Homo-oligomer: A and B are copies of this chain.
Amino acid sequence: VVRISELSRATDVSLASIKYYLREGLLQPGSATAPNQAEYGPEHIHRLRLIRTLRDVGALSIERVRRILAAIDDPGQRRHDLFGVATRALEPDVTAEPLPAEEAARGEVDAFVAALGWEVRPEAATRHELAQVLVALRRLGREAEADVFGPYADVAERLAAWEVSTIDPSEPPSVAVERMVVGTVLFERALVALRRMAHEHQSARALDDATPGAGSEARP
């Protein structure tokens, strides 16, 4: 049990940020020990680290962090829907009115997802995101159809099947939702970084191939 200054040191979160999270209700209040003084426990340390991860690594807004924490604190009782709770809490709001080009692309994305046989909510923000990517490709002059996403969908399906299989069904719901949210945010960051690393590696291989004798070892 620690004072707010030690909480700040233990979590590397500034006093100003801790006070802001307390005011915003993202961090539960400590136990009052005197007027204007409170003590904080391990649950506060964990919550602050979670907020920091979602903010710094996930680059999520305060509003989205609030929604995620609400889902973790009250995940509901339907165990089979915990992934859905995590998915919806992570989902950005789609507020902008779609442009005509986006509506057409959206129909193509819907057909693509249906052809995959995937059960995804009609209102899922991910459908909108794929449509945006398709529109952006076309705006930049590429003749892309929705099946340009095929190889990525294959990879995502195999990865997700493995990821879901690693979930421990005996965990309490709030722990499970936190684990799913954290896993989604952190491993999507890792996946993106690894894809860029792999691009760099392939580029280095191409360089070696183009410069006979420059490689230090034989390559397949």
Contact = CB atoms under 8 A, between A and B. Distances in A.
A90 interface: yes
Interface in A159-200: 159-164, 178, 180, 182, 184, 186-200
A133 B80 contact: no
A57 B136 contact: yes
Contacts of A126: 193-194, 196-197, 200
Contact of A130 (B130, B132, B194): B194
Nearest to A85: B203
Contacts of A210: 79-80
Contact of A189 (B12, B56, B133, B162): B133
Number of copies of this protein chain within its complex: 2
B141 A198 contact: no
A200 B53 contact: no
Interface residues of A, number: 77
A137 interface: yes
Interface string A117-141: 0111100101101101100110111
A171 B188 CA distance: 31
B130 A190 contact: yes
Contact of A81 (B81, B201, B207): B207
Classify the interface of chain A: helix, strand, loop or mixed.
helix
A83 B157 CA distance: 28
Given A118-B200, A118-B201, A160-B201, 4 more contacts: A80-B211, A83-B206, A133-B190, A164-B206
18 contacts: A49-B139, A80-B211, A83-B200, A87-B196, A87-B200, A90-B196, A119-B204, A126-B193, A129-B190, A130-B190, A133-B193, A137-B186, A156-B195, A159-B198, A160-B199, A180-B199, A184-B199, A192-B192
Interface of A: 12, 46, 49-50, 52-53, 56-57, 59, 79-84, 87, 90, 99, 113, 118-121, 124, 126-127, 129-130, 132-133, 136-137, 139-141, 149, 151-153, 155-164, 178, 180, 182, 184, 186-207, 210-211
